[in-house]
Amino acid sequence: MEKGQAAPGLYNPSMEKYHFTYQNIHKTAKSMADRVKASGFDPDVIVAIGSGGFIPARIIRTYLGKPILAVGIAYYDAHDKPTEVPRKVQWIEEAERKLSGKKILLIDEVDDSRATLEYCIRELMSHHPAGIAVAVLHNKDKPKKGSIPEEVALYIAGEELPDVWIVYPWDAQDIDAHDAAAKSR
Ligand code: G4P
Ligand code: MG
């Protein structure tokens, strides 16, 4: 498995695929920002889970105007062997100190197994933030391995999807072919 690819076992070529364009993603991210505003949860900081959360977080920043901190989680070890348990690959200690007493909006692109999300939420909670809200572009309707801790003040999924394979524009080798595939759906 190359770094940056999804964890093994997740992708199955026979799965139905949904392609989303940058335009789709931007509009979904705006709707998420609108829902955060309407909820009354006023985050101090956005935490983006890399790498899929980076672009949605940046778009949401356009609407909420909050700084972004980035964290990275991996399911492979130092020898590129898959691991069962996630590990932190980029977790800025300075950022951890900055999170104490702050309201965090945690952003990722997809809530699939929920394992990464739960791991990140629990890590963030250990730094005593004032509150955590979670926002993902897409939530898949499927049995989850992880759960959203009850301390989470708000959970927003931009779109609810069946258990399909989502093809994101940032993974496209040929963005025009990707957009054509998105339009043909
Ligand atoms: P979760 O807690 O957010 O549900 O994530 P989970 O650990 O189940 O997902 C493992 C990896 O698989 C994540 O990538 C996630 O983004 C990716 N993934 C899951 N479903 C899909 C899908 O339908 N389409 C695509 N393109 N990716 C999917 P990661 O290891 O964090 O890598 P990345 O974010 O750097 O791409
Ligand atoms: Mg991801």
CATH code for position 161: 3.40.50.2020
Q: Which two tokens stand for residue 66?
A: 């909050």
**Statement: residue 87 has pLDDT above 70:** no
Q: Is there a domain that residue 12 lies in?
A: no
DSSP annotation string for 14-47: TS-EEE--HHHHHHHHHHHHHHHHHHT---SEEE
CA–centroid distance, residue 112 to ligand 2 (Å): 9
CA-closest residue to ligand 1 atom 12: 6
Q: Distance between CA atoms of 118 and 121, rounded to whole angstroms?
A: 5
CA–centroid distance, residue 80 to ligand 2 (Å): 17
**Statement: residue 4 has pLDDT above 50:** no
Q: Is there a domain that residue 11 lies in?
A: no
pTM as predicted: 0.90
- pLDDT recorded at residue 5: 47
CA-closest residue to ligand 1 atom 20: 112
Q: Provide the H-helix boundaries in the chain.
A: 22-39, 54-64, 93-99, 115-125, 175-183
Residue 125: which domain range? 17-183
Q: Is there a domain that residue 45 lies in?
A: yes
Q: Is there a domain that residue 157 lies in?
A: yes
Residues taking part in catalysis: 112
5-36 per-position pLDDT tens digit: 455 557 888 899 999 999 999 999 999 999 99
Number of domains in the chain: 1
- pLDDT recorded at residue 94: 59
Q: Is there a domain that residue 74 lies in?
A: yes
Q: Is there a domain that residue 69 lies in?
A: yes
Q: Is there a domain that residue 108 lies in?
A: yes
Q: Is 15 in the pocket of ligand 1 (CB under 6 A)?
A: no
Q: Is there a domain that residue 146 lies in?
A: yes
CA-closest residue to ligand 1 atom 14: 6
